[in-house]
Structure 1
């Protein structure tokens, strides 16, 4: 793994769908090697922000600056419910898909890549399950498989969307251990979390989001009672009928 890239900067960033804003005028910087939790009420724009960081959602306004980095340097873990488990593929082949950027879409796995896949499955506690179809796995097992694929990807920036949702405590602890290992390697980790206790325990920095930045900094301070109450109030006051956002160039012409 190469060293972590330079900081990721959010500059007056506005995000949304169908021109309807979901995140407004967000400013901030994710330092190299940061371990950042993104917290906030339901509908606060957390997953939307993660998709934009992954390069899957273009901004409505502002920009994301990634010095020395591209989308190829990013490993993205979607919410478990977004993973299509109906495709007929076994655990080994699913995890090996993490090597696609190195070997190409139609490349063959060599001995080194096969060994990397086996080691990843061992690290997440799934040795011996290589031939199991993914549609037979429990939620916790599937989340371990997704983390194994991240290991195979071996990227400098890791984005995790609700990695601990609907999984058992043993799996949570094992995956927290893996995140701690990545943190020790100096990787940049950004995770959307609903579990505030986990944010306080394992993530030194937190962005509290309620469609705009409520707080961003040391986790205990960011998640203080006053900030959490403000985030709830902001979320409840959100106007779902708000007018469409103009893109930057349209706004300039409007003036």
Structure 2
């Protein structure tokens, strides 16, 4: 597995910074929650780790080359109108092995069926994803993550707008990945879940407010400081030129 190191990294869009000068490390096998107010840069950070967003400054590095990264974006970023069935959506998790247009052999079919069963969707294989509830869709996406067999798993608000049973089942999968010593980083809003499941937390408000043990990070003082830091964001802020 691989550690993730943040070397004075700044992330943003069109030269406007969103996450400033982040320094630190997520050790291999970390179970890390990323929390902060709306507009704090949480999703931007995950996009940077996934390689979907190039840093404006500094770098994000893995200590082992070729590490597999699986990224689950927010539900709002997923096109539910795309005409695809649950089985085919889950099968997309095998694209690294079979290729985008590769065929699915017996071994692959077994793996797909196992992943679907692991998230409780057996019998839903031929359902259109547009017919699924929010919780069912999230289960299907977690099944796809299972097939990706990644060392680093990034989850952007994976428990938002789903039922309690689905949340509990998906958290069981998160614990399973942690037990397998995969690095899991999740953006979350439910502080009770953060405190009960995630031993490490990064609190951001366009820069790191606190990073470390969850009980030491999630204090009223730190949470209040984070809220105050994003109360009046400037969407037209110039590029950050602060020295490292």
| TM-score when normalising by structure 2 | 0.97
1:196 to 188, 191, 202: 191
Question: Is 1:55 equivalent to 2:29 in the alignment?
Answer: no
Partner secondary structure for residue 12 of structure 2: strand
Q: Which runs of 5+ in 1 are unaligned?
A: none
2:161 to 153, 163, 166: 166
Structure 1 segment 91-106 matched on structure 2, within 5 A:
91-106=86-101
What's the CA shift for 1:69?
3.6
2:142 to 139, 147, 150: 147
Partner secondary structure for residue 27 of structure 1: strand
Match of 1:33 in 2: 29
Partner secondary structure for residue 191 of structure 1: strand
What's the CA shift for 1:32?
0.2
What's the CA shift for 1:245?
3.7
Partner secondary structure for residue 125 of structure 2: coil
Match of 2:69 in 1: 74
Give the distance between the partners of 2:227 and 2:58, measured in 1 at CA.
25
Deviations 1:210-239 (A, max 9, x none): 000000000011010110010001111433
Deviations 1:107-134 (A, max 9, x none): 1011111111100010000001100011
What's the CA shift for 1:161?
0.3
| TM-score when normalising by structure 1 | 0.93
2:152 to 157, 177, 181: 157
Give the distance between the partners of 1:69 and 1:168, measured in 2 at CA.
38
What's the CA shift for 1:240?
2.7
Deviations 1:133-160 (A, max 9, x none): 1100000000000000000111111000
Deviations 1:27-50 (A, max 9, x none): 010100000000000000000000
What's the CA shift for 1:241?
2.9
Once superposed, what is the RMSD of the aligned Cα atoms?
Answer: 1.3
Match of 2:226 in 1: 231
Aligned residue pairs: how many? 243
Partner secondary structure for residue 230 of structure 2: helix
Give the distance between the partners of 2:64 and 2:75, measured in 1 at CA.
30
| Divergent runs of 4+, >4 A | none
Match of 2:4 in 1: 8
